[in-house]
Amino acid sequence: MPTITGGGRRRRRALLWIVVLALLVGGGSQVGAEEFAAEVPSEPGAFSERMKLEEKGEGNPFAITTYKRNYLIPFSYNASANQRTTSGAGDSVDRTEVEFQVSLQFPLVDNLWEKNGRLFLAYTNHSWWQAYNKDASSPFRETNHEPEVMLEIRSGWHILGFDVSSFTFGLVHQSNGRSGTLSRSWNRVQGYLFLERGPLVLALCPWYRIPEKAKTGPDDASGDDNPGMEKYLGYGELIAVYKLGEQTLGVVLRNNLRSEGNKGAIELDWSFPLAGRFKGYVKYFNGYGESLVDYNSSSNRIGVGLLLSDLL
């Protein structure tokens, strides 16, 4: 009987995510049209409303469209701060730091397939700044850079009472721009299947990590910076966002789907109106993979700050 290697198991788990996504996409139109026609939402969902607003802004040459959340959290407290993988701050890493994210998207080709598709670039910068660590000269502890190129296909399909608003897939690179033993990076093929029903939006996000060769030594810049990342981040995530009036509730779930050495993460988000376009933002994270440098170290973090742009 043939032996299944660790690499084979990883590929099977990744392919399982992709097959599930393909079945949902391929079967969505027939299932929705025949079996669940009576459950089709009568009004556009929250995600469709966001896409309409994005289309209006893309015609403005002075406007840049947001992608993921944009926020500033001046007080972000990590009860289990990772001391081992921080350069510059030494062993005096403060548990409280500043966290912020900037995320933008740029259209490349619009109106594909009779205005049902588009090609776009996106970039997300997620940073953790030891602003209050005066003993270590307030260094930036970690910054993750994440450029993407994505193809979005919009649909009018329906499944289980949800609108299948769009399917997006493409290539993603993520790195922390550091060298030596603290260098972290990976490349992946990633997809999003967006389902919506009124104020509720679900996103199934599988990915497949593009394999890299093993490092020949600690100073080998061309080898794998983070072997075994799938053991901590898994092969995808499930995102749920609910728009409750002017408030937004969100949850992100990840799991490596392993019976032995099971690991995952959960993120909870709450945004609420403050003044003008600014919102208050509360974010809680527990688990692995909060940042690249901490991908194999569990974090337990809560933060309060300002949200500049929301998901819905």
Q: Which residues pair with 158 in a beta bridge?
A: 163
For residues 310 and 312, give the distance between their C-alpha atoms in angstroms, rounded to a whole number. 6
Domain that holds residue 93: 6-309
Residue 60 pLDDT exceeds 60: yes
Q: C-alpha angle with apex 254: 250 to 260, nearest 5 degrees? A: 150
Residue 183 is predicted with a pLDDT of: 87
Residue 8 is predicted with a pLDDT of: 58
Residue 1 located in a structural domain: no
CA atoms within 13 A on the CB side of 263: 18
Q: Is position 175 annotated as part of the catalytic site?
A: yes
Of 43-52, 196-205, 258-267, least confident by mean pLDDT is 43-52
Contact 247, 225 (CB under 8 A): no
For residues 247 and 88, give the distance between their C-alpha atoms in angstroms, rounded to a whole number. 39
CB-based burial label for 193 (10 Å; 0-12, 13-18, 19+): buried
**152 or 32, higher pLDDT:** 152
Question: Would you state the torsion angle of the CA atoms of residues 107, 253, 165, 146, taken in this order, to the nearest 10 degrees?
Answer: 10
Residue 160 is predicted with a pLDDT of: 87
Q: How many residues does the chain have?
A: 312
Residue 223 located in a structural domain: yes
Given 173, 185, 297, 309, which residue is catalytic? 173
Of 76-90, 115-129, 245-259, 283-297, least confident by mean pLDDT is 76-90
pTM: 0.85
Q: C-alpha angle with apex 191: 186 to 192, nearest 5 degrees? A: 130
Residue 207 located in a structural domain: yes
Domain count for the chain: 1
Indicate the average pLDDT of the chain. 85
**Proportion of the chain above pLDDT 90, given as a percent:** 58
Q: Is position 103 annotated as part of the catalytic site?
A: no
**Average pLDDT estimate for 37-63:** 74
Residue 135 located in a structural domain: yes
Given 29, 103, 138, 175, which residue is catalytic? 175
Q: Residue 111, SS3?
A: strand
**Average pLDDT estimate for 101-120:** 91
What's 192's domain CATH number? 2.40.230.10
Residue found under tokens 């994005």: 54
Residue 27 pLDDT exceeds 50: no
Residue 246 located in a structural domain: yes
Residue 222 located in a structural domain: yes
* CB-based contacts of 81-90 (< 8 A; 24+ apart in sequence): 82/293, 82/294, 82/297, 82/299, 84/297, 85/182, 85/293, 85/294, 85/297, 86/141, 86/142, 86/293, 87/178, 87/182, 88/136, 88/137, 88/139, 88/141, 89/130, 89/133, 89/136, 89/139, 89/141, 90/136
